[in-house]
């Protein structure tokens, strides 16, 4: 909820090759020539599509930042094989062993995916997926030979075997799409600009992430030393990012103002972002609001055609003075950005009420999936002190 209490929920993972390489780029689409339009729904910027397995309906997240994945419940229901067990690193840089399996057949609209290889989520991740009604992921390794176009205005994804089947403006510029060798995760370049200076960030285009753009701490440290293209608004230590292995460990975090970000030469002015742990910056599903987005996996090209008459003002809204996170199924303070609050607010304080929303009355899934929109610049927050249990009311504002 970008405009409300910012709970940043990210689900991505990548492969750790400490001993041997595991190729998830297996399987294929049964049809040789195809153009399929798939309708999706969005819950808190999660792109959810209907699929069919063994003639039974399921809901999958359409996630370009991941490989094919399946919930443990569905894995057991389908009695799928164990191919092997490998180390998986998530968005928080945590690593854990997970099962690799293969699904013989999955249908997405009229497309049939054969022998898709991917991972099985553990119980804790499956619990969160259940909140969204998600049974698995359609990942980039399933799309590696296709062209995928997101049309967010019409809530449709078009998947085709060739770019000529899409109505793209012939003058539309594109950039090279970099794909990982073992699961075809797509990487693009964004340009950051300040006072005439430019620098570039290599980002994972991750339709499974909620956000517009989130800079990795590795990228931030490089910019800090080599290129003055961002303004630091606040810094603090804490955590507010969730990956498939749980909540990220407390780390130094930053709120940044970027005077201008360019995507395929399309400018986004004065945007506010937060950093994230790990080495990968992300561009998430929020960017789809601003333009028709096309990933040509087969020719390794990335297109962005901006929509007309779509306001970008939301990206310029300042960040709230605290960032919450989930702990023991409760909303708690995860980061305190405003140093003047440190005597009044503690990390781990339970958030009871924010801007009139009673979080005590919400269950775990309500908290995870809620997407309240607040346009005000100040708010009253009611907290339960993590140490004393005392109830306190604090006025906070945007930075």
Q: Supply the DSSP string of 161-212, one letter for each residue.
A: S-GGGS---TT--EEEPEE-TTT--EEEEEEEEETTEEEEEEEEE-TTS-SS
User: Are residues 74 and 195 both part of a single domain?
Assistant: no
* pLDDT tier at 22, thresholds 50, 70, 90: confident
Q: Which domain holds residue 237?
A: 167-316
User: Are residues 380 and 236 both part of a single domain?
Assistant: no
Asked if residue 1 belongs to a domain, the reply is no
Residue 93's pLDDT is 55
How many Cβ atoms from other residues are within 10 Å of residue 151's Cβ? 18
Total structural domains within the chain: 3
Comparing 81-95, 203-217, 321-335, the range with the smallest average pLDDT is: 81-95
* Structural domain ending residue among the three candidates 164, 187, 211: 164
Rounded to whole angstroms, the Cα distance separating 399 from 392 reads: 21
Contact of 355 with 380, CB cutoff 8 Å: yes
Asked if residue 2 belongs to a domain, the reply is no
* Structural domain ending residue among the three candidates 118, 143, 164: 164
User: Are residues 143 and 126 both part of a single domain?
Assistant: yes
* Structural domain ending residue among the three candidates 265, 290, 316: 316
Rounded to whole angstroms, the Cα distance separating 282 from 10 reads: 10
What would the pLDDT profile of 28-77 be if each residue is shown by its tens digit? 999 999 999 999 999 888 999 999 999 999 999 999 998 999 999 999 99
Asked if residue 205 belongs to a domain, the reply is yes
Residue 12's pLDDT is 40
204, two tokens: 């994972």
* pLDDT tier at 89, thresholds 50, 70, 90: low
Residue 14 pLDDT > 70 = no
Task: Count H helices and E strands in the chain, helices first.
Answer: 4, 33
User: Are residues 351 and 243 both part of a single domain?
Assistant: no
- Please, what sign has the CA dihedral across residues 158, 162, 165, 167? positive
User: Are residues 286 and 327 both part of a single domain?
Assistant: no
Q: CA dihedral defined by 122, 124, 130, 131, rounded to 10 degrees?
A: -150
Residue 326's pLDDT is 79
User: Are residues 30 and 140 both part of a single domain?
Assistant: yes
- Please, what sign has the CA dihedral across residues 103, 104, 107, 108? positive
What would the pLDDT profile of 207-256 be if each residue is shown by its tens digit? 998 889 999 999 999 999 999 999 999 998 865 555 444 455 567 889 99
Mean pLDDT along residues 151-176:
95
Residue 15's pLDDT is 40
How many Cβ atoms from other residues are within 10 Å of residue 181's Cβ? 11
* pLDDT tier at 3, thresholds 50, 70, 90: very low
Residue 13 pLDDT > 90 = no
Asked if residue 392 belongs to a domain, the reply is yes
User: Are residues 332 and 302 both part of a single domain?
Assistant: no
User: Are residues 24 and 172 both part of a single domain?
Assistant: no
What would the pLDDT profile of 95-104 be if each residue is shown by its tens digit? 678 899 999 9
- Find the CATH number of the domain harbouring 351: 2.30.42.10
Mean pLDDT along residues 379-390:
94
The whole-chain average pLDDT of the chain stands at 87
Asked if residue 3 belongs to a domain, the reply is no
Residue 329's pLDDT is 79
Residue 88's pLDDT is 67
User: Are residues 189 and 220 both part of a single domain?
Assistant: yes
Contact of 194 with 256, CB cutoff 8 Å: no
User: Are residues 35 and 127 both part of a single domain?
Assistant: yes
Residue 33's pLDDT is 97
- Find the CATH number of the domain harbouring 13: 2.40.70.10
User: Are residues 228 and 370 both part of a single domain?
Assistant: no
User: Are residues 88 and 235 both part of a single domain?
Assistant: no
Rounded to whole angstroms, the Cα distance separating 363 from 19 reads: 42
């Amino acid at each position: 909820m970008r405009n409300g209490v910012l709970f940043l929920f990210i689900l991505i993972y990548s492969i750790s090759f400490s001993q041997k390489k595991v190729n998830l780029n297996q399987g294929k689409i049964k049809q040789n020539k195809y153009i399929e339009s798939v309708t999706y729904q969005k819950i808190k910027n999660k792109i959810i599509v209907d699929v069919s397995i063994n003639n039974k309906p399921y809901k999958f997240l359409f996630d370009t930042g991941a490989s094919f994945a399946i919930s443990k419940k569905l894995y057991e229901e389908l009695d799928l094989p164990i191919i092997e067990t490998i180390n998986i690193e998530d968005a928080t840089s945590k690593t854990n062993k997970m099962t690799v399996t293969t699904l013989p057949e999955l249908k997405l609209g009229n497309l049939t995916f054969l022998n898709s290889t991917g991972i099985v989520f553990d119980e804790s991740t499956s619990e969160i997926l259940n909140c969204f009604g998600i049974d698995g992921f359609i990942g980039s390794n399933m799309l590696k030979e296709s062209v995928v176009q997101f049309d967010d205005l019409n809530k449709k994804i078009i998947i085709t075997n060739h770019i000529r089947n899409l109505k793209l403006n012939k003058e539309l510029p594109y950039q090279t799409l970099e794909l990982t060798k073992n699961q075809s995760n797509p990487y693009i370049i964004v340009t950051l600009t300040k006072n005439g200076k430019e620098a570039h960030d290599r980002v994972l285009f991750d339709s499974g992430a909620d956000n517009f753009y989130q800079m990795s701490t590795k990228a931030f440290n490089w910019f800090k030393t080599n290129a003055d293209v961002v303004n630091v608004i606040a810094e603090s230590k804490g955590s507010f990012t969730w990956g498939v292995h749980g909540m990220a460990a407390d780390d130094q975090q930053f709120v940044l103002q970027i005077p201008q970000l360019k995507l395929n030469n399309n400018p986004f002015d004065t945007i506010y972002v937060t950093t994230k742990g790990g080495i990968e910056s992300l561009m998430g599903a929020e960017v789809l609001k601003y333009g028709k987005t096309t990933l040509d996996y087969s020719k390794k090209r990335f297109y962005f055609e901006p929509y007309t008459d779509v306001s970008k003002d939301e990206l310029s809204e300042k960040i709230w003075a605290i960032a919450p996170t989930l702990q023991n199924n409760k909303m708690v303070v995860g980061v305190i950005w405003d140093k003047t609050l440190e005597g009044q607010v503690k990390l781990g304080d339970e958030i009871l009420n924010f801007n009139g929303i009673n979080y005590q009355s919400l269950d775990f899934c309500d908290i995870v999936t809620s997407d309240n929109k607040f346009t005000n610049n100040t708010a009253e927050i009611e907290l339960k002190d993590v140490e004393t249990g005392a109830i306190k009311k604090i006025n906070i504002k945007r930075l």
